[in-house]
Chains A and B, each alone.
Chain A
Amino acid sequence: MPKEYSPEFVGTVTKYVFVESPDITPQHLSIRAYEISQGVMIKETCFGLQITGMPEDVGKVIAAVREMDPYHILVKDRGFPPGDKRRCRANLGGARPGYFGHEFEMGLLRHISKGLKAMEKGVKPDEKSVNAIIYHDKPLLDTQRLEEIAVSKSREAGTDAANSRTTE
């Protein structure tokens, strides 16, 4: 017979709070979060916090924490409560798969933080950058243009060769 499963923390939400800041550490975050914790569970981690509780309570804590450094603190939902054995590295031997995705995006956070800060100041993105982040197929060179380039390059080569012969 399959084993019955009785869930814990029903009705709660868990949020990851990531901090990638020169000024704020996960410890700073947790101190602030505890001050206003309102009965939510707070767990400090190497990248920030995990906050678990009823959705409104968690929302309030998140809002307050975000204020500490809005450009360097990012928040995301988590399916599991903190320290759940099923996702814990100590039990699995290695990191859960989602961890690598976070690791990848953490490497990009500096661009995001700078972007958020510039946007706040009213800076508009330049056209080249806008084009770069909009998804489209890489444009292929027109075949006629390619031919023109090829012809001009071969002429250059021919001229160069002729020159080198005359100088000999």
Chain B
Amino acid sequence: MSKVFIYPSTSLILSDMVARFGHEPLGAAIKIRERIQTPGFDSPPLQMTPEDPKKGLKYAAVEVPAGVRGRMAIFGPLIEEAEAAVIVNDSDLAFGCMGCARTDELVKFMIRQRKDIPILEIVYPSNEDEGLAFVDSIKNFLDGLSAKEVPK
């Protein structure tokens, strides 16, 4: 079982596909859950505090807006942890954690910089036939990860 970073990281479809085909999806919810279940100072709604944009300095310089750095405090560790990634590139309507285009650009760049992990880059299907191609390509990609794991 591999840890697969999903982009958009809030995607229902990708989260389901990765889990359905036997792997662990790494999405924004995992890191939000961590914050929601950790005691500290009250900072609703996400339990993200001004410390998060500071943590984000690891991924983006201080002149980068706080919202980008805060989001990077969520995505950065997930990308570092990932053993594979699936990117859906035409996800223009993903909001919240994925709602900032500048962060999204940086996230994709950081994934692509991970030369050591396999990455699948696709777009959303627009009809049934493409639906099959979409599901099939994700399954093949994920099966490939399992095949690599066997010799371990």
Contact = CB atoms under 8 A, between A and B. Distances in A.
Interface in A116-147: 116, 118-119, 123-126, 128-130, 132-135
B53 to A, nearest CB: 17
A84 B97 CA distance: 18
A22 interface: no
Interface string B122-133: 111111111111
Interface of A: 2-7, 9-14, 16, 18, 66, 74-81, 84, 86-87, 96-98, 100-102, 104-106, 108-116, 118-119, 123-126, 128-130, 132-135
Interface of B: 8, 10-13, 15-16, 19-20, 25, 27-33, 35-47, 87, 89, 93-99, 121-137, 139
A116 B135 contact: yes
A7 B39 contact: yes
A22 to B, nearest CB: 15
Given A7-B36, A13-B33, A104-B93, A115 B133 contact: yes
Given A97-B99, A114-B128, A133-B123, 15 more contacts: A5-B39, A5-B40, A7-B37, A7-B38, A11-B37, A79-B32, A97-B95, A100-B93, A100-B95, A101-B93, A112-B125, A115-B131, A116-B135, A133-B130, A133-B133
Contacts of B13: 74, 105, 108-109, 112
Nearest to B94: A101
A110 B127 CA distance: 9
A133 B122 contact: yes
Contact of B29 (A77, A113, A126, A135): A77
17 contacts: A6-B39, A10-B37, A74-B12, A75-B20, A76-B12, A76-B27, A77-B29, A79-B28, A84-B36, A101-B96, A105-B11, A106-B12, A123-B132, A129-B125, A130-B137, A132-B123, A132-B133
